[in-house]
Structure 1
Amino acid sequence: MKESRRNWSYIIIGLLFIFSGFALLFFPMTFYQSVSRLVAFIIGATGVTRTFQSLVIADKSKSNRDRFLLMISGIAQIIFALWIAQYTETTYRWLLHLIGYYQLIMGIVSLISYILLVRNQEKRRFHRLAYGVVHLIFAVFSFTATKDSRSVTLILGVYAIFIGFTYVNDGRGVFIQPDTENKLKRKVRFPLPIIFNALLPTRVLNRINQYIAGELDIDVELEQHSMVQNIDNQQTYDVMQILIHAGSNAFDIIGHMNIVYKEKVYSYGNHDIDSRQLFDAIGDGVLVVVDKDAYIDFSIKNGDNLVIEYDVLLNQEQTEALVEKLAEIKSSVMSWRPTTPTQLASYGGELMRAIPSAQFYKFVKGKFKTYFVFGTNCVMLSDEIIGTSGLDLFLLVGILTPGTYYDYLEKEFQKANSIVISRKVHHNRLQAFIEDRTDNKLLN
């Protein structure tokens, strides 16, 4: 029943995206004005509710200052809603310019990634150049678009339709039997823009904090095992883990991602602080191979850090491909250790002291020789390794974040017949909270 409801929710969301996409293609201004009025109504209704609560409802738990701020925010929302409803053409231009800025940033980031690939003599780089140029062209269209311009709305419409079909595909279990569904593999996924999914792991962290505070019930979200069916007992299976990290400080809010095989973590990052450039976005690519349990303990030693672990089932052929890929990666690196005072004081030095057995490597060739936070990052390396598993993956286009993968892995985990068979949440305060709650139940 729960699986069916989830699949239907994907279908409904997908159909809404598809409807919005066609609306943007065929009657963009009418659609935009309707959406603007709906948004204005929701914001205005929220503002009226807040203002009413601050003036009429006596809440003894709130101070006069809090009630005054609530009233001010409510009035501000009402004014903003009226402005949206009155000046839809102005807000339309603002929207186009915001889209233009996003496309400009994506274009610049892709061109930087392309330059780094050229510097590292990576042959498979044209797609990055093409992606950057296309985004820059679209950015120009967005900045120069007028009320009657169709170029931007056409792009948005087509993109929304593709996102819609991706969601419908996620809910295909409504119409397809599990054994058949598991054989259908997507070749390309169209995830939401990174501004919507980049912070997904941190949202999980926030929900856990609310759960510990007693403000939210997420017991279902903490369940660890999916239903696995149709396992061929004649085959030999192995397991690979995928780790998604989240935290509340600096780049931790975007998250981190790495792969585990045979209890060894393969973590790629910008761990040589002396090589960093461009506000720490670029640096020498460093691979760390470290024991899983020790690494997870190190990663969550800060009470606000979170690691979500997914188990992926591999058959013999997939296992052989994974081992081959790891060997290929190891052939591209040389041993390295943090030695300078700045290196020893950074993350790498701290990890080395905490886990003396950790092995550090630098890439000497290939695209991962230079780390780039928006290009050759931890997600790209993990994606290359994961690709050997036959997991129902999306084509790596554009810029992916750990949040993109988290969204995908969650959907796969919820399926009854997925090879993502298990999920475990590692979080110090959460574990202590669950243990205390279990002890209290036993005592009662």
Structure 2
Amino acid sequence: MFYDVAMNFVIGTILMVVGAIMICIPNRVFTWILVVSILFLFANGVTLFIRFIKNKKNKDFFFSILSFAFMFFLMNFRYIPQWILRVNFGGYCILCGSACFIQLVIDKINHFKGKFFNFVFTIIYILFGFYLLLNPNFHTDLLMQAFGIYFMILGLRYLGDGYVGINPLTKYKWKRKVRITLPAFLCALVPDAALASINRYLEEGKPEDLNTYKMEDPVRLKVIVHVGPKGFQKVGHICFSYDNIVYSYGNYDSDSFRLNQTIGDGIFFTVPLEKYIPNMISAENNSIFEYGILTTPKQNEFIEKEIEKIRLNGYRWYTKIEKEDGYDHFSKYEMDYPSRLHYRTGAKLYKVKSGKFHIYWALGDNCASFTDLVLGTLGADVLSIRGIISPGTYLDWLQKEYLKKNSPIVSRCIYTKETVEQ
């Protein structure tokens, strides 16, 4: 725990220094990045060529030549790395803007009043993205300085988190506000990175306990992030439990899948926590990060009102195994996640009737936004300036809040197949 708090100071300081350098001498920073890239490509090419000589694998030879070729281009055509930086960042802005635009369209279909703030940022993202793509004369120094400002703001957040983590006099109170986070594509990688870190820890056989508690009293609210070993499972999924009942939202109706399963009918399910976690670990091969949150009686009232709204806005949706009474032929339905979830845990699924979560959108109204319905009543500050909240965004926030003195996040439990079977 002390190590994690210390890392906030280290990362924050590095970000502040790097950001200041990028603002003051952006051209030199770009040159340094270019030199480091050339050296990396040279070392990578040599390594792959040596591997080819030893193992005689054609792919090693191919990628070695490719690495040397790209190094040559970077050395002789300076405009290429500038073009790559400009086009990639422009494409990223357009992607974020498009995700926000799709969410605005979904809000319109659902007759849900979206925020004007989101509309403004949608326009800014898309216009700036196309400006970068279509303007070859855009000065790279300006982009480097913009990155520098972002790094300094992010560095201040890390330093602030570190200070709160060591100050025992901190009067802790969540306040609903926009939070400066890592870029969306990096947030998406947080759950898988966290799982990789746990796996390394287990392989090293360190004695430290993965499950830590600031207090022994039971809590009523828990947030659960789980991550799997492949595909979309690496991005993670987030849900919450209240009074040991799990509430999870997602895109579970295969008949409604659109846009490579990123859009579909919004569905939530309820299931006892004691059945859900063992099933996710043993049957679904997921690892679980569970955070317990201490709540006051007043906060419990807010949570219960929100859960009641969720329940009233849902109608029972039956899985394929239920509709066809196929309990005696489970193997026929095993590939359908809702069916095997219901079969193994007794989970009940509900489609959202109307409003914000009537349509699921992976980059908008997703499982993280659904969980935010409840945590938002407590003042959790995970609102994103991009309008996109991922499980990784929440996992990063939960871990940082858990490390802070006097935080209401009072426990962290990590379950993997290895630890459960020990």
TM range (shorter): 0.7 to 0.9
Is 1:13 the equivalent of 2:1?
no
Where does the alignment leave 5 or more consecutive residues of structure 2 unmatched? 325-331
1:171 matched to which residue of 2? 162
Q: What whole-Å deviation, never above 9, does each CA across 1:1-43 have from its counterpart, x for those lacking one?
A: x52x543432332233234334444432222112322343455
Deviates more, 1:103-112 or 1:143-152: 143-152
Q: Structure 2 counterpart of 1:271, which letter?
A: Y
Is 1:241 the equivalent of 2:245?
no
Q: What whole-Å deviation, never above 9, does each CA across 1:180-226 have from its counterpart, x for those lacking one?
A: 263575833211112112122223333445556x4x45654x52114
Q: Does the aligned pair in 2 maintain the 1:272–1:343 contact within 8 Å?
A: no
2:400 matched to which residue of 1? 411
**Secondary structure of the residue that 2:282 maps to in structure 1?**
coil
Name which of 279, 299, 317 aligns with 1:318. Answer: 299
Q: Structure 1 counterpart of 2:212, which letter?
A: H
Q: Distance in 2 between matches of 1:416 and 1:24?
A: 33
User: What's the CA shift for 1:113?
Assistant: 0.7
Question: TM-score, normalised on structure 1?
Answer: 0.81
**Secondary structure of the residue that 2:220 maps to in structure 1?**
strand
2:237 matched to which residue of 1? 256
Q: Does the aligned pair in 2 maintain the 1:111–1:132 contact within 8 Å?
A: yes
User: What's the CA shift for 1:151?
Assistant: 5.4
Residue pairs, 1:169-248, within 5 angstroms: 169-173=160-164, 177-180=167-170, 182-183=172-173, 187-210=177-200, 214=203, 216-217=204-205, 220=208, 223-227=210-214, 238-248=219-229
Q: Structure 2 counterpart of 1:32, which letter?
A: F
Where does the alignment leave 5 or more consecutive residues of structure 1 unmatched? 56-62, 436-444
**Secondary structure of the residue that 1:241 maps to in structure 2?**
strand
Q: Distance in 2 between matches of 1:227 and 1:345?
A: 40
2:327 matched to which residue of 1? none
Q: Structure 2 counterpart of 1:368, which letter?
A: F
Q: Distance in 1 between matches of 2:305 and 2:70?
A: 57
1:122 matched to which residue of 2? 112
Q: Does the aligned pair in 2 maintain the 1:226–1:420 contact within 8 Å?
A: no
Superposition RMSD in Å: 3.2
Q: Distance in 1 between matches of 2:163 and 2:299?
A: 25
Q: Distance in 2 between matches of 1:171 and 1:36?
A: 33
Q: Does the aligned pair in 2 maintain the 1:311–1:423 contact within 8 Å?
A: yes
User: What's the CA shift for 1:304?
Assistant: 3.6
Q: Does the aligned pair in 1 maintain the 2:287–2:414 contact within 8 Å?
A: yes
* Cα separation, partners in 2 of 1:248 and 1:7, compared to 1, 3 Å: closer
Q: Distance in 2 between matches of 1:323 and 1:369?
A: 21
User: What's the CA shift for 1:88?
Assistant: 3.9
Q: Distance in 1 between matches of 2:206 and 2:34?
A: 33
Is 1:159 the equivalent of 2:157?
no
**Secondary structure of the residue that 2:119 maps to in structure 1?**
helix
Q: Structure 2 counterpart of 1:255, which letter?
A: G
**Secondary structure of the residue that 1:362 maps to in structure 2?**
strand
Residue pairs, 1:319-338, within 5 angstroms: 319-338=300-319
**Secondary structure of the residue that 1:117 maps to in structure 2?**
helix
* Cα separation, partners in 2 of 1:140 and 1:155, compared to 1, 3 Å: farther
**Secondary structure of the residue that 2:221 maps to in structure 1?**
strand
Q: What whole-Å deviation, never above 9, does each CA across 1:272-291 have from its counterpart, x for those lacking one?
A: 11122222211111110111
Q: Distance in 1 between matches of 2:157 and 2:272?
A: 36
Q: Does the aligned pair in 2 maintain the 1:89–1:147 contact within 8 Å?
A: no
1:266 matched to which residue of 2? 247
User: What's the CA shift for 1:67?
Assistant: 9.1
Q: What whole-Å deviation, never above 9, does each CA across 1:383-428 have from its counterpart, x for those lacking one?
A: 111122344x232432121111111212222334322221222222
Is 1:33 the equivalent of 2:31?
yes
Q: Does the aligned pair in 1 maintain the 2:132–2:138 contact within 8 Å?
A: no
Q: Structure 2 counterpart of 1:14, which letter?
A: G
Q: Does the aligned pair in 2 maintain the 1:208–1:430 contact within 8 Å?
A: no
Q: Does the aligned pair in 2 maintain the 1:33–1:88 contact within 8 Å?
A: no
Query: Once the two structures are aligned, what percentage of the paired residues are identical?
Result: 26
Name which of 364, 389, 394 aligns with 2:382. Answer: 394
User: What's the CA shift for 1:264?
Assistant: 0.3
